[in-house]
Amino acid sequence: MFRRIFAILLALCVLFSVMFTYAEEDEDFGDDELTDDSLEDEELDDSSEEEENIDFRTIGGYDIPTETFGDFTVRWNEDGTGAILTGYGGTDKDLVLPDTINDLPVIAIDTSMCLCNPVIETLEIPGSVQTVGVNAFAQCQKLRSVVIREGVVTLDKCCFGGCVFLTEITLPESLVTVEDFVFAGCINLPEVTFGSGLQSIGRQVFFKCLALSRVTIPGGEAVAIGEQAFEECAEDFQIVY
């Protein structure tokens, strides 16, 4: 049964992340196009040395520069006032994301930041973050507990989809939007309590959450709920307003 659920969730998540892939790293990229003149150009050599620690991530067809700070890779928002986490290369099983990088606030978690991470067991997301991106923590193989601090506004599509060992999640009052498939396939998640700020729950958010028996929505029936949001949950499933 696990294999069927993994296959379903992977297919769903891929639909929303196919345009957000990492560019392959190639140290020899472009070498064939260098001429003798360019090799003798000291300015070109100097600029290459300056950029050798900068990687690129392809987003929507554009190469976006990223930088490494400790175990994290980041990119910057358009006006350079905030950091967006793009990757994590560490081995901590209890991961607390930073709220600042290089003295700038961490304002978002990028698409597929920790997709299929095999190590993380507990996760804390700081309140400086506004959006948790598409597939950000989807199918993390050992993730069982998540705390999202006050300040986070949006959980984007499938960001925790397929986390089959997830049993506990703490959500903030500030959360406004939960996009499609966010918890789909979290088969061991028993209960979820939203804050009073919630305005919308997308399609199939809790699809195949087989153990889910109770969801508390303080905003009541004013909260917009997408199609099949609670499809194939526990037999005794109930919504508490």
Task: Indicate the burial class of 104 (C-beta count within 10 angstroms; 0-12, 13-18, 19 or more).
Answer: middle
Residue 40 pLDDT > 90: no
Q: Can you tell me the distance from the alpha carbon of 161 to that of 43, in angstroms, rounded to the nearest whole number? A: 48
Give the pLDDT confidence score for residue 65 in this predicted structure: 87
198-211: pLDDT as tens digits: 999 999 999 999 99
Residue 43 pLDDT > 60: no
Residue ranges covered by each domain of the chain: 2-21+35-240
pTM of the model: 0.79
154-194: pLDDT as tens digits: 999 999 999 999 999 999 999 999 999 999 999 999 999 99
Residue 99 pLDDT > 70: yes
Give the pLDDT confidence score for residue 214 in this predicted structure: 98
Question: Which of 225, 229, 180 shows the shortest CA–CA distance to 208?
Answer: 229
For residues 1-30, give the mean pLDDT: 46
Q: What is the mean pLDDT of the chain?
A: 84
Count of beta carbons in the 10 Å neighbourhood of residue 205: 28
Residue 21 pLDDT > 90: no
Query: Where is 12: in which H helix or E strand?
Result: helix 2-17
Residue 223 pLDDT > 80: yes
SS3 track for 98-136: CCEECCEEEEEECCCCCCCCCCCCEEEECCCCCEECCCC
Which residue bears the tokens 């989807």? 138
Three-class SS of residue 3? Answer: helix
Question: Which of 168, 63, 68 shows the shortest CA–CA distance to 122?
Answer: 168
For residues 36-47, give the mean pLDDT: 43
For residues 1-28, give the mean pLDDT: 47
For residues 17-35, give the mean pLDDT: 39
140-155: pLDDT as tens digits: 999 999 999 999 999 9
Select from 3.30.465.10, 3.80.10.10, 3.40.50.40, 3.30.70.270 the CATH code of 2-21+35-240. 3.80.10.10
58 vs 70: which has the higher pLDDT? 70
